[in-house]
Homo-oligomer: A and B are copies of this chain.
Amino acid sequence: MDAINNNDAVDEVNSFFESAPLLKDANSINAKLTQFINQKSSLSGSEGPKRVVCVTSGGTTVPLEQRCVRYIDNFSSGHRGATSCEYFLKSGYSVIFLYRRGTCQPYCRSLPDDPLLECFELTDDSCIKVHESHSEAVKKAISGHHAAVSGGFLLKLPFTTIFEYLQMLRLIATSMKTLGPSAMFYLAAAVSDFYVPWESMAVHKIQSASGPLDMRLAQVPKMLSVLRNQWAPSAFCVSFKLETDTEILLEKAGNALKRYKMHAVVANELSTRKEVVILVTNSEKVSVYRENDHSDVESPLIKLLIEKHTSYIAVIKE
């Protein structure tokens, strides 16, 4: 029964990819990935290759028209992914940051929305100057970001649509296979559940003259199960559940853990997600709180996940 379901899932996934518009720059993305991963897998320590986490962040879009004017978007500032990225880097992980274009970037959280226009001014002799009040935040952003990128610890890859996201995730997972259990997936992106299959999509802009618009959206195939079973079978996998209704949150997180064989699911409720998350694993449900109003819930969360990743690597090696 499971085998049949699995075959169905694989068929759905294949047909999603076959009908998706081809990923631009696939070759250049692959080259970057290969270089990044090769460097890590050659740096083996006592436990095996160096640890690498793929952090996904931000929401995916679903185009409603092939020449895209309108699309459905999933809300996500990317704050969770960007913050988590910083804590992984701080703990010695290398990070592949698969993020939605325009969302929050690592080390940039304490900056205003429009940093260039709000943090800088021109002096009388036409030099660029940072406002005193933003000086520390700007320095942290520039130095943290440059150190991570130029040191080869952070590879940033942007996406916009669900089609780009899933094709890039597949490329990353396939590249990370050589890392075995040293690889982690931390899937914080808000991925669309519904989409319009490319071939059934309107080519031109949908016209508004003829009354209300009826739309039928298909379900996006459940990629977590393919990621876990085929793309990256030895990696440590963490997925996220966001709900606005607490009642169904834990039930859905538990279902995701079992159905997709995740190693951990981070359950978060929209209104309290910056203060507390619940880490659901096979053995327990742990509420993880931020230490105080000025600290991040990602700090204890990443610490706990790294402990679990360490145990996972140890068990696999036995």
Contacts and interface: CB of A to CB of B under 8 A. Distances in A.
A244 B215 CA distance: 20
A229 interface: no
A240 to B, nearest CB: 13
Which of A65, A69, A190, A270 has the most CB atoms of chain B within a 10 A radius of its CB? A69
State the copy count for this chain: 2
A122 to B, nearest CB: 5
B216 A214 contact: yes
A112 to B, nearest CB: 10
Given A142-B121, A216-B213, A72 B75 contact: no
Contacts of A72: 64, 70-73
Given A64-B72, A212-B194, A242-B69, A138 B145 contact: no
Contacts of A194: 208, 212-213
A65 B243 CA distance: 12
A270 B115 contact: no
Interface residues of A, number: 61
A130 interface: yes
A105 interface: yes
A111 B114 CA distance: 13
Interface string A180-219: 0000000000101110000000011101100111111111
A267 to B, nearest CB: 13
Contacts of A128: 128, 130, 138-139, 142
What is the interface of chain A mostly: helix, strand, loop, or mixed?
mixed
A69 B130 CA distance: 35
A274 to B, nearest CB: 15
Interface string A107-143: 0100101111101111000101010000000110111
A303 interface: no
Contacts of A67: 244, 270-271
A101 interface: yes
